[in-house]
Amino acid sequence: MWASNVGRTRRLSGVCVVGLLSLGLAGCGQDEATIPPLAGPSTLALSIEMQVVPSILNADGVSTSTVTASVRDANAIPIPGQVLVFTHNGDGLLFATGLVVGPLQTGVALATDSNGSARLIYQAGTQPGRLVSVFCEPQSLDATVLGTLPRSVVIEQR
């Protein structure tokens, strides 16, 4: 009797293994995978790109550079009316060329135009060999903007 029970166990276990394998393989089909559609560029909710022309000035107290900040949303669409705060660490001066929101003790606040850009002028100081950074950061109460790292450009005074 014991021998016949052993044979049954072997047959049953073989059926169980085959049944389990067929169940496991049925759920692993790679042909059923769905790929989600792409949605826009990979960027932050607020993107700020800065440019300066020219990036080298004479340290004569007269030479100037134009600093431009362009602001775009997560879909690369320009954001008009975004308030940006500009500051610098040089011995020169900043002059606003666009819509001034307000002067600050250490800089100026400008709103972006219809193209999402804000421009200002940096007038060189008189200390040769100095690297001047002009910083830009958004001013907003919106939680998506808070914590955005300031952007900067460097101007060399010779």
- pLDDT tens digits, 116-145: 999 999 999 999 999 999 999 988 665 455
Q: What's the CA gap between 156 and 158, in Å, rounded?
A: 6
Going by DSSP bridges, is the β-strand pair 151-157/56-57 parallel, antiparallel, or unpaired? parallel
pLDDT one-digit tens code per residue, 2-38: 555 555 545 545 555 555 555 555 555 566 777 777 6
The full set of domains in the chain, from first to last, is 46-142+153-157 (2.60.40.10)
Q: With a threshold of 0.75, does the pTM exceed it?
A: no
Over range 87-95, report the average pLDDT: 93
Q: What is the spatial distance between Cα 30 and Cα 20, in angstroms, rounded to a whole number? A: 19
